[in-house]
Structure 1
Amino acid sequence: MSIIKTEHQPRLSAAVNRIQPSGIRRFFDLASSMDNIISLGVGEPDFSTPWNIREASIHSLERGVTSYTANAGLLELRAAISKYLLESFGVDYHPESEVIVTVGASEGIDLALRAIVDPGDEVLIVEPCFVSYAPLVSLAGGVPVPVPTSIDKNFEIDENDLKERLTSKTKALMLSFPNNPTGAVMGKEGLTKVAEVVKDHNLVVLSDEIYAELTYDGDHTSFPSIEGMKERTILISGFSKSYAMTGWRIGYLTAPKPYAEAMLKIHQYAMMCASTMAQYAALEAMTNGREEMEEMIISYRQRRNYFVKSLKEIGLTCHSPGGAFYAFPSIAETGLSSEEFAEQLLLDQKVAVVPGHVFGAGGEGHIRCSYAASMEQLEEAIDRIGAFLKKLNG
C-alpha cells in the first residue's frame, strides 16, 4: 500500500488570521534598519531602571531565590501594591484575594477579557487607544465596538457617545486614562458621568491605568475610586512606565474577589506566575522607588512643555497632553494620511513617529510622538519635522 504524501498547509485559527500585525512595530522595525534615526515611536522611557531596583533583583539571584512564587505573586508584593493603591488613589483591595501579579499589564488586559467575554459579547473601546485592545477582544471571542473621541473635546469621553453604542450584547467598557496615544486625562467629574452609564447598563469596566503616575496637571482619578465602581471594575497597571521597567515584564491587576478568582484560574494555566526575579525588583520599586519616579515625572513634564509648544510653533495643531508621555498632533492640514506622513517623514528626515490610524479610526489625521527621549533628541526632532513641513508647503 503506497502512502500519498501531501504538503502540510498551516491550519491557523480564523481569529488569528483576522488580526493585523502591530502598526507600531512596523515603523519601529523599519527605523531600526536605518542610521541616524531619531525614534519617537515606541512608548518606552529613555531612563534605565533605577539601580536599587536592579540590585534587588540581583540580590534575589545571589540568594538562590529562583523557584516559582504563588500563582498570584509574592504576598509581600501584593501587600505593597494594595497599600500603594489605597494611599495614592483611595482604592482598597485585599492582597490575599483581590491582587494578581502579571507578566506586564498586557497579560492583565488579556486575562481580564478572557475572564469576562463570551462569544458575541460586545466590548466598548474608547478610541484612539492602545493597539492591543481590539485584537485581544477578538481573540477572546468578543466584538470590539469603537467609541470615538476627538481633539475638539480634548479626547475625553462623551457619555452620550457611550449610550449611542450600547446594545443588548454590550458587556464591558475599556478605559485608558491617562491615554495612549493622546495623553488625555479625565477628571472625577467626567468619569462620574461615565460611571452613571456603566451602572445603568450593568457593564464591567476594564480600566488600564498604566500611566496613572504620569499625570502632570492635577491628581489622577482611579476609576474604581468612584462611588459604586469598585465592585464592577478590573484595574490594570504595572511598573513599565513609571519605574522605567518595560523589559522586566511585570504588572498587576486588582478586582473584586469573583473576578480575581476567575482571572487567576487562567493565569495559573497560561503563565503559572510572573518572573520571581522581576517580582523582587517590583517589590523594591513599590517600597523604595518613589523618589526616582518623581524625578522622572518632573523630567517628562519639562519635555512635554517644550515639545508641545515647539510642535505648535512649527505649524502643527496639538492639544496639551495631561498625562503619559505622548503628543498627538494633527497633520490633517498637510493633506497626507497619517501613514503617508509618517513614512515620508521617516524616509526624508529620519524621524520615526507612529501613524495615528493604528490606534483606531479616530486616530487618522494625527501622529503619535513619544517625548520619552532626551531633550537633545527632541530638539533635533523638532528641527527635522519643521524642515519636512517646509518641504511639504513648497
Structure 2
Amino acid sequence: MDFSLSAEQRERYAHIGTAARHLSSGSSAAGLPGDIRKQLAGLGLLGAAVPREHGGAGFGALDTALLYEGASAGGADTGLLFAAGAHLFACVRPVLEFALPRTREALLPGLCSGELMAGNAMTEPDAGSDISRLATRATRVDGGYLLDGVKSFVSNGPAADLYVTYATTDPHGGYFSSTAFAVDRMSPGLVVGDPLEKTSLTACPAGEVRFTRCFVPDDRVLGSPGQGQLVFQTSMQWERSCLFAIYLGQQERLIRRCVRHVRERRQFGKRLADLQPVADRLADMKLRLESGRLLLYRACAEIDDGQDPSLWVAMAKLAVSEAAVATALDAGRIFGGRAVLTEYGIEEEVRDAVPATTFSGTSDIQRRLIAREMGL
C-alpha cells in the first residue's frame, strides 16, 4: 500500500498553491465576473475531472482533489473554491456522465473554459436532505417537459448560465420518481431570484430559481427519465470527496498560521508553543487533518478504481467537515481576542467552515449512510 504522492502530483500541488495566492476573490453576492471565471478555468478548477477531448484536464478523483486542496492550502478564498467545486462536481460531472453525446459536445467546452457557469438546483424550501420528496414537477409534453417549482440555496444561482436541476416525474415511482435536467438560464419560464445575503462562503453567490411552465427539451434530460436519484447520488460521490479537499487545505493553512503564532506570541513569560495545553490543541488539530485526509484520499481512490465508494465517501465527508469546524474554532482559541478582529481573518475561517457539516448532506445523513453500509 503506497501512501506517497508521485513527483508530478507534488509538483502540481505546489504550483497550484503558489498560483492560488494571486487568485482574486473579487466576486460578489450577485455573480462571478468573467475575469474570475477565467482565473478559475486557467488553474484547471472548472474542468479538472473532465476528459481533455471535452476541454478539461482529464484528471481522476484523487488528482482533482489534490488540485482543490492545494489551491485552498495556498490561500484561495474558500467561498470561491466552493463556487468552482459546486460547478464542477454537482453540474459538470452529471452532464459528462449522463447527457446525450451532442449535449456534452455543446456544453462541456464552455463549462470547462468558464464561458458557461453552472448552478446546482436541487434544494427546495421543504426538501433539503430529503431529496425523495421534491415539490418541483416535470410534466411530459411533446418534445420535452414543462418544469414547475422553486429551488432554493442554488449555489452559483445568480451567476449561472446553466442549471442542473431535479424534478418529480412520477410521484409514485419511489427511487425512480425524479428526473435530472440541464436547463439554460434564458429558458422562458425560468426566473432567477435576488442573491441571498450570506455570512459564509460569500464569494459563492446563491439564490432562488423559479420554474413556471419552463420547457426543457428531451435532449437536456440527464440520463433516462426516472434516473434523477442515480444522477444526484453519482454527483454527490464526487462532491462529498473532491470538494471537501477544500477543507483539508483550509485546515492545513490554519495549522500553519497557528504554529507560527504560538512560536511568536508570549504569555506568562513563555512562548505559547511551550504551554502544554496549547501544544496539545495543535496536536489534535493535526490528528484531525491527517485522519480526514487519509479517508478522503481513500474515497477518491475507490472512485478512480471503479469500486463502490459509498462507505468511504460518507466517512470522509463526515470526518473532514467536522474537523474543519473543530479546527477553525481551535484556531480562534489559540488566537484569543485577536480571533474576532477581521484583520486576522480567523472569524471568516470559522464562518466558512460551519456550513461544511450541512451542505452535501448533513453529518447526521452521513452517519445514516455509514450505518446502512455496515448492514444496520
Question: TM-score, length-normalised on structure 1?
Answer: 0.26
TM-score by length of 2: 0.27
Higher helix share: 2
